[in-house]
Structure 1
Amino acid sequence: MNRAEREAAVRRIMERAAAPVPPELYAEAVRRGERRLRRLRLARRVLWLLACAAAVAFAVWAAGARPWAEPPSQTTPPVTGW
């Protein structure tokens, strides 16, 4: 099948009348779409809540543990009296 034949076949397919759609299909699609959007919205809110809780927990831990400060030396005593 060459290019012209393929284009002609595609045109024939596209010019055909659309298949009849059952009338209840639209209502079912809308209902499922709304339910999916609600679930996605809920999942997004839960993820944001978890991210904020993790940020707060990290901030509280960092304020108490001070991971940026150098820990005191445990192997040698401090030098005094120089």
Structure 2
Amino acid sequence: MALSIVLHQAGVDHVLIDRLAQGLQSSRAGVIHAQTLETLEPLGVTQRLSELALKLQNFAIRDHNRALLKFDFSKLPSRHPY
């Protein structure tokens, strides 16, 4: 997808082909990490992704009622601490 964006921005006519015959029934990109957002900034898509995002500052991996791991993304050394 990133290559397709760059080709489009450069005015290169291209076709993006997906190997799958039809779409999956689940998300192929449910999470975009802060570092990924920073990497995508030169493509000009980060602002729109951030506008549409559900931003989480805190996250936990749980086993029923017990938190196994807790993360505080607000302390990430990033322009996107979520």
TM-score higher than 0.5 here?
no
Higher gyration radius (CA): 1
TM-score, reference length from structure 2: 0.20
More helix by share: 1
Which structure has more relative contact order (CA 8 Å, sep 6+)? It is: 2
